[in-house]
Structures are given as C-alpha cells and as structure tokens.
Structure 1
C-alpha cells in the first residue's frame, strides 16, 4: 500500500490527509487472519497440534504433496510459535498473525518489492505501535520493545528469504528443478 508523502490534494488539509491514511491503516489490520477462538485453541496445543490445526484453518489439503502449502504452513506456524515465545496477548497474536498474512498478501497479490514491503511495514508499525497520538491510544497494540522485536523477526524470516517467496508465488513449473535430469557430470 502506498501513501503519498509530501503532496496534499487540492482542497484537502494535511490533517484530513493524515486521517485518511489512518483509516486506511486501520482497515489493513482490522479484519483478523485468525479468530480469537482459533488463537485460543492453538495456544492449548504443542507444535504438532499447532501445525495440524493451522493447516486446517488455512484449508491446506495437500500438505504431504504440495511444497507451496508446506512452506506457507511453516511460515505461519513459525510466526505463531515466535509470538508464543513473546507471550503476546490474544489481541497481539491476532494483529501479529494478520500482519504476517498481509505481508504475504502484498507480495502475492500486489507484487510488492522487498523495499515496498519494508516501507509498508514501517507505516503499519507506526500506526499500531507506541508512537501514536493520545486520541488513538486504543490502537497502540505493541510497545516499543515488541514492535522492534517484530521488525527483527520479520528481517530474519520473511525479508531475508523474500526472493524465495517471490519464486514460490511467481515461478512456473518449468523453472523448478527436481532431481538430476539434465545436469552435466562434474
């Protein structure tokens, strides 16, 4: 999602533009990727149970044979387990998992570059993080340490492997090499 920086449309004020941007960001994380009941259910499980239930929640039916489903399940389960280690509240779990999903959505659907995804993350974290004005205090989901930890986690999970996720979503079957057919001997 791009926001305009530095230009104000004719007939609008900077305050009106800021309110519009805030509404856009609120919409971004307003729908929850996982329901509160699903999160509560996952918190009761061990790693295997989390994987099984997450696969069901994501409607993955071919985990044994579909590499893409396996990779995506790993992405979400790893994120959930990381959040569990952070001892997030249910609301924080919800927003974090929605953030993970939106980042993949931006890559898959909007074809966002790594740079645009990092910029988008910064904008969203500014909206749900601790730097909000007093009137939007209820939107502050994460404190400074948590927000920094989320950014650090995304650096080593999604962003470090961004090219691989691009390949996962945009490569054709012919590009995937399986086995040794066609390789030259050393």
Structure 2
C-alpha cells in the first residue's frame, strides 16, 4: 500500500511539474515592423517599395528582390540600392496578402505603384538619423518628404542595409 502511495505521489509530482513548465510562455517579437516602416498599421505582412521594385517581408525581416529573373530573399538590400533611403522612400502596405510570394502580383504592383509613386503622406514608426549622429526632430515620427529619396549628398541613406547603422 505504501508503495502505491509513493507511486501516486510521484505521478502527481511529475504531472504538477510538467503542467508548471507547460505554462511558461515565450514572447518573441517576430514580425515587428522596422523603424522605417509607415506608422498607423496594426497588421502588416509585406511592404512594396515602388522606387526599387522590391518587397519587404515584415515577419521574416527580409527584402525580396528580383535578381537575374529570380526573386531572392535577403536581410540587406543589394549594393545597387546602397544610396536608397528607406525612411524617405514610399512604402505600400500589403496587409491583405497571405503566403510567401507577394511578387505573384508584381505585374499589377509595378503598374499601380510605379517608380516615384506617392500615395497618402506617411510617417515612419521611428526617427531617421543622419550619418553625422544628429537626428531629425520628429517626435518619434519622421514624415517623408516627396521627391527626397536619399539623393542629397549629405544624406548617405542606409548604405543598402535596410536599417540605420547609427
């Protein structure tokens, strides 16, 4: 009888231990929009970047770029876009697309959101920092200016890395 009691206590202890461990949760910020992303959206899957005809996958934190006829994913923009300023460039929010191939609609996006396209004014989630460590004062939101895409000689853009390195 005593052996059965010990066995039952052991099983209860293991069950309690397992259920306690099962209640531990992990909170990981997968899919957090980048600082250069437009503010005001609660659910974002992809951005289309008309000026460079590329996509950004918010959940995977990767750019999707057409290269030699193939769509490739990369954490950074390719060298040819090193002077492109993600904070100033217009971002089309594609929050109605599910799946991993937003470029399946590329022909439509390319026509509808042509290079130089500007929809409604956007404010970025974060503040854009100029390379000399002085930041543009915008209280947490930097309003992109029409026509300014990192072509100013003082503005080095993001050096093709998709994130501000300062």
**TM-score where L is the length of structure 1:** 0.23
The structure where strand makes up a greater share of residues is 2
The structure where helix makes up a greater share of residues is 1
**TM-score where L is the length of structure 2:** 0.25
Identify which of structures 1 and 2 has the higher relative contact order when contacts are C-alpha pairs closer than 8 Å and 6+ apart.
2
